[in-house]
Structure 1
Amino acid sequence: MRIHFTPDDLLRIRFAEEPAPLLELGLALAALHRPAADPVFTRWRREAARSLPARARSLLDLVPASGAGPQFLDPMVADVEEGLDRVAASPRGQVRRELVRVVGLGQPKTPWTQRIADLERGAWGELLAGLHAAYGSILTEPWRRLRAGFHAEVSWRTSGWGRLGLGPGLAALLPDSRLDGLVWHLAPEKEFDLHLDGRGLTLYPSAMWSGSPLVGTYSDHSRLLVYPALTPLPLLPEPHDADPLGTLLGRTRAQVLEALAEPRTTGNLAQDLGISAASASQHATALREAGLVATRREGKAAWHGCTALGAELLRTGAR
């Protein structure tokens, strides 16, 4: 599998902002077809197959083991209800093209899938109810872990790119891949050339998927590459409910940064947080050296406030 970049494409490589629930659901359904795949998923597959509601089992006719299911089923949005609304609004032409494609991949053509292709209202009601039931059964419980694992992977990869550079950073995403000039060689088991032609590439790590990388289209019309995350779902720990800023900065320093969302003097800061003036000054200095706080002097008073980077960190931590 070869992905061909233009110089403009190299400037438009990025990671997806959030995991997409219906994309993850499609990958989970595909994984149920692959009993001999990654053994770390064996117990999960057994439990997911047992708990899948009867009204959701017909979805297995739509999603092949390769993971390349109908693209109208997995809109790239972070909210599951919005995703279901988009599925319901799928254009007739796209629905028919995608169903023909998955039948060509070996999925059965059944009376129900034909009714889906004909946009029969009753069949689409069953489809949407099945998607909702499958999500509730398979992904509701582990979603916090999936989302935390997604953001942990993106943070770790992007920080590594700053040290390694683009070529080694891309090569590290998948075993035995390499960037040779403007061509990224990956997945030697696939014979496929993807020319980006200036549309850019959005990278999406999935802890639900252990197969070959998959190609689709992202919400901004760039090409999408879905690849197996470093840590698969069964090995993801339960995320802590602790304040993420406190984990990153230390509890007191995180409180200082939060307080400085509005400018304060050193004395105000110490009084508001119940710490000494010396401690307040020390924490403000450390945050200033990290680029999270700016300080200005007015006479004898030192006023501290968040920089744009500090404000962004507060916003991300709150999210």
Structure 2
Amino acid sequence: MLRVHFTAEDLARVRVSSGPDPMWEILLSLHVLRQRDGAPVFGQWRQEVRGRLAPEARWLMQLAPPVGYSPDFLTPTAGCGVDDGIDAVLSTPAHQLRTDLDQLGAQQRLDPRTHLLATGDTGALDELGEALRGYYDAALAPVWDDVRGVCDADRAVRARQFLDGGCERLLEDLHPTITWRSPVLHIGYRFPERDVHLGGKGLVLVPSYFCWGKPIMLRDADRPPVLVYPVERDLHISNGNPRTLEALLGRTRAAALEVIAGGCTTTELARRLGISPASASAHATVLREAGLAVTQRHRNTVLHTASRLGVELLT
């Protein structure tokens, strides 16, 4: 059982990440790749990815074992892009690298390259950056639109939970293994006995596609508190066939609804879809008139969000 202790200040500082975190998805997909669980969700993805991974991915698998401890420095941020995330990993101070890899070494044998990494060796860090980028390009980039769409839809659901029941409703409905007994969040499912006191730092909630079975937190209590939790999803990941939502709405409009579910302006919608602002506005209008989206004006900004019907359609 993991117990996360909140103060009133912590409750005021709970937030949901703006989208899936590439570094967490890299780490957790490495776990999924070496497991057999979730075959209806990940089976085809595993088969396709294993056929195109570069040899450098084997080092990442050693650094991120599916059972036990994975180094915290591999997931340094919440919600940034892949380039910034990799830069943050490579900027990890040498003492943190050494501390994390000493913990990893306590449960498994480390190869010579990992020992070099623990000293902050620049050559080993460069190799790690290339391995992370290569793995993302091979394993995650082809399915990233699906991952982002599902996490955006989950974020819209969390926003409605917060509006309907406040922060406590948001926390208690995150996952079946989670129980909220104010002021402590209890997280079960094979966690060792541990208490985490947030101490006013708040908590970032990160929805994740590749988080499977249970939520996860960093081991190091000195790092910013993050709770990564599995999203609810259809039992598939895109395999190149037309999806039901695309068949119903058309590819661009279905993608527009997925983006709108996370909340966006017309300009952001156009940028995400790679279309003109005029076309983005037209798609948002059709979705709004169909009852799938809601548009609100705040000062000089127009914000689009999914309606309850739109969220239900996505999920």
TM-score category of the 2 structures, normalised to the smaller one: 0.7 to 0.9
**Within 2, Cα distance between the matches of 1:45 and 1:136?**
15
Aligned to 2:15: 14
Which sits farther off after the overlay, 201-210 or 180-189?
A: 180-189
AA aligned opposite 2:298? T
Cα displacement (A) at 1:233:
7.8
Q: Contact (CA 8 Å) 1:167, 1:178: kept in 2 or not?
A: no
Q: Aligned ranges for residues 283-302 of structure 1 at < 5 Å?
A: 292=296
AA aligned opposite 1:50? G
Unaligned ranges ≥5, structure 2: 261-265, 271-281, 283-287, 289-293, 306-315
Secondary structure at the aligned position of 2:103 is classed as helix
| TM-score normalised by structure 1 residue count | 0.72
Aligned to 1:39: 39
1:126 matched to 2:117? no
Cα displacement (A) at 1:159:
0.6
Aligned to 1:303: none
Cα displacement (A) at 1:168:
3.5
Go from structure 1 to structure 2 and tell me whether the alpha carbon gap of 1:142 and 1:233 turns closer, same or farther (over 3 Å shift).
Answer: farther
Secondary structure at the aligned position of 1:142 is classed as helix
Q: Contact (CA 8 Å) 1:217, 1:224: kept in 2 or not?
A: no
Q: Aligned ranges for residues 162-311 of structure 1 at < 5 Å?
A: 162-190=163-191, 191-216=193-218, 222-231=224-233, 234-235=236-237, 240-242=251-253, 244=256, 292=296, 306-308=297-299, 310-311=301-302
Task: Report percent identity of matched pairs.
Answer: 29
| TM-score normalised by structure 2 residue count | 0.72
Go from structure 1 to structure 2 and tell me whether the alpha carbon gap of 1:247 and 1:165 turns closer, same or farther (over 3 Å shift).
Answer: closer
**Within 2, Cα distance between the matches of 1:24 and 1:5?**
26
Go from structure 1 to structure 2 and tell me whether the alpha carbon gap of 1:241 and 1:116 turns closer, same or farther (over 3 Å shift).
Answer: same
**Within 2, Cα distance between the matches of 1:6 and 1:123?**
41
Which string of whole-angstrom CA distances, capped at 9 and with x for unpartnered residues, describes residues 221-279 of structure 1? 6410001111178346687423737997xxxxx8xxx9xxxxxxxxxxxxxx9xxxxxx
AA aligned opposite 1:91? P
Q: Contact (CA 8 Å) 1:145, 1:233: kept in 2 or not?
A: no
**Within 1, Cα distance between the matches of 2:185 and 2:72?**
24
Q: Aligned ranges for residues 132-147 of structure 1 at < 5 Å?
A: 132-147=133-148
Go from structure 1 to structure 2 and tell me whether the alpha carbon gap of 1:115 and 1:233 turns closer, same or farther (over 3 Å shift).
Answer: farther
**Within 2, Cα distance between the matches of 1:68 and 1:246?**
34
Which ranges of 4 or more aligned residues in structure 1 deviate by more than 6 Å? 245-248
Which sits farther off after the overlay, 106-115 or 230-239?
A: 230-239
Unaligned ranges ≥5, structure 1: 249-253, 259-272, 274-282, 284-289, 293-305, 315-319
1:101 matched to 2:112? no
Cα displacement (A) at 1:82:
2.0
- Higher relative contact order structure (alpha carbons within 8 Å, sequence separation ≥ 6): 2
AA aligned opposite 1:203? L
Secondary structure at the aligned position of 1:178 is classed as strand
Secondary structure at the aligned position of 1:69 is classed as coil
Aligned to 1:161: 162
1:26 matched to 2:27? yes
Residues matched between the structures, number: 263
1:80 matched to 2:92? no
**Within 1, Cα distance between the matches of 2:117 and 2:50?**
23
Go from structure 1 to structure 2 and tell me whether the alpha carbon gap of 1:49 and 1:246 turns closer, same or farther (over 3 Å shift).
Answer: closer
Cα displacement (A) at 1:86:
2.1
**Within 1, Cα distance between the matches of 2:258 and 2:70?**
41
1:150 matched to 2:136? no
